[in-house]
Amino acid sequence: MTPRYSSVTEIQKDLGSGVITLTELVQYYLDRIQQNQHLNAFVEVYAEEVVSRAKEVESKIKSGTAGRLAGMVVGLKDNLCYKDHVVTASSKILEGFTSLYTSTAVQRLLDEDAIIIGRLSCDEFAMGSSNEKSVYGPVLNPVNEKCVPGGSSGGSAAAVAADLCLAALGSDTGGSIRQPAAYTNVIGLKPTYGRISRYGLIAYASSFDQIGPLTHSLEDAFLLLDVMSGPDGFDGTLYNEKYTLSEVEAKPLKIAVLKDCLYREGLNVEIKERFLSLIEKLKNEGHTIEEVNFPFVDQLVPTYYVLTTAEASSNLSRFDGIHYGYRAKEAKGIEETYKKSRTEGFGTEVKRRIMLGTFVLSSGYYDAYYSRAQKVRRVIQNKTNEILSQFDVIITPTTADTAFEMGKKSADPIAMYLEDIFTVQANLSGHPAISIPLGKKKNEMPFGVQLLGPSFQENHLLQAARQLEKCISGF
């Protein structure tokens, strides 16, 4: 569907000229959420709070003191802490848990006068590719309600796509922003690892996790990045320079196409055809495109799963039935409390990953799996850097196919894991990557194109994405 507004600039223009008031705008989104409850994207709506907040921001607009995000109505993935608001990572184990502090990313949105409208469902602990694994039940894809919206930030993608809010925050550990963005026809940006503080993001795999925006426009995505980025003193892996949005002059691009992705069995023919015609079009417009080898495509997903499950098994050890959320009722003694609370509180997929992660870290297997996967990660990083030393960007389809029918991959974890075949590279290497809508299959299901660029050079990624977007809109 076409959203009423596709960027905050449009909103600010209408607010300025009196076409709409902020109170009316907030009401518009509240009504949309109400009418689309069946999508199951929002698990909580801050209805009263946003009305008073709209008034507050309105008076700031009048007095000329409003921040850069005044007019932006944003939804939050259910793994971002927001003080005095419930956060559960869509897991039973965090049932009823209220944040004690606000994450840096969310605080910075508030400081620039964004309005946070509610909390969005995700796969439990951000583990998944379909948003079927949420304690709140599956989220539906607004494009086709029989299909999944992708995951794990499926609630965020569905909410933006269905115009329930202007933008949403998600988190991307292996593709969880870009894959659902592609499946719902919106833009999804995973910044360079270290760009946005992870303070207040419920950890899944700490050396992979990045917060990022899902939006309708490139300008909103990079504006949100600008607002959220930069040091805060709370995340030791944070880059010490903030990102500042600036439009880099458009120049012909040198683009690398990964042969091993493009000619891979399993890439849907309609996606491939459209991708190839995009390449033709880009060539005709004066860009240089070369097919390059990336011989590690088969290693991407296994390496990702060894390392992320290892990190998850450690990160999730804090959920013990004592400190947070859910505690098993009948448990006696500390050990039984741990065991029963974790057995009852975690879902099957999360348990699978904790066990796998514990296994790859256990003595005797550490060298064979964990330590080896770390080395493979380095090889993948080096190869990606080598390609990016010769090219401005790497392009691939975001996903091998479009959104699948609900339930289709539930019984097959490997098929689900392979959903991320083209997206995990950027998380293993740390590079920024973005998915923008590329087209639709004959059955109307959307898909995206992914651009991966050099670390901490998001303005170059923006410039490249702008050129691609222009090119795509013309055919």
Q: Which stretches of the chain bind ligand GLN, using CB under 6 A?
A: 126-129, 152, 171-176, 204, 308, 420
In terms of CB distance, is 7 or 156 closer to ligand GLN? 156
- Closest distance of CB 436 from ligand GLN, Å: 18
Contacts of 56 (CB under 8 A, 6+ apart): none
Q: What's the rounded Cα separation, in Å, for the pair 161 and 36?
A: 12
Task: Identify the CA nearest to 175 among candidates 201, 134, 204.
Answer: 204
Q: What's the rounded Cα separation, in Å, for the pair 475 and 470?
A: 9
Helix (H, G, I), strand (E, B) or coil at 274: helix
- Closest distance of CB 89 from ligand GLN, Å: 11
Check the CA dihedral 40-42-48-54 and report its sign.
negative
One-letter identity of residue 161: A
90, 103, 130, 152: which one is catalytic?
Answer: 152
- Closest distance of CB 315 from ligand GLN, Å: 12
- Catalytic: 152? yes
134, 176, 229, 341: which one is catalytic?
Answer: 176
In terms of CB distance, is 175 or 200 closer to ligand GLN? 175
Q: What's the rounded Cα separation, in Å, for the pair 378 and 451?
A: 21
- Closest distance of CB 420 from ligand GLN, Å: 5
- Closest distance of CB 26 from ligand GLN, Å: 29
One-letter identity of residue 352: R
Residue burial 37-76, b: 16+ Cβ < 10 Å; e: rest: eebbbbbbbbeeebeebbeebbeebeeeebbbbbbbbbbb
Helical H segments across 285-347, by residue range: 297-315, 333-345
One-letter identity of residue 202: I
Q: What is the token pair recorded at 397?
A: 């389809």
Q: What's the rounded Cα separation, in Å, for the pair 89 and 324?
A: 12
- Closest distance of CB 424 from ligand GLN, Å: 7
In terms of CB distance, is 174 or 347 closer to ligand GLN? 174
6, 7, 77, 217: which one is catalytic?
Answer: 77
Contacts of 390 (CB under 8 A, 6+ apart): 254, 256
- Catalytic: 176? yes
Task: Identify the CA nearest to 278 among candidates 458, 473, 464, 442.
Answer: 473
Q: Do residues 409 and 415 make contact, with C-beta atoms less than 8 angstroms apart?
A: yes
- Closest distance of CB 173 from ligand GLN, Å: 4
Give the chain's end-to-end CA distance (angstroms, integer). 19
In terms of CB distance, is 229 or 309 closer to ligand GLN? 309
In terms of CB distance, is 57 or 424 closer to ligand GLN? 424
Q: What's the rounded Cα separation, in Å, for the pair 253 and 265?
A: 28
In terms of CB distance, is 57 or 159 closer to ligand GLN? 159
In terms of CB distance, is 266 or 364 closer to ligand GLN? 266
DSSP result, 233-273: SS-TT--SS------PPP---EEEEEHHHHT-TT--HHHHH
Cβ-closest position to ligand GLN:
176
Catalogue the active-site residues: 77, 152, 176
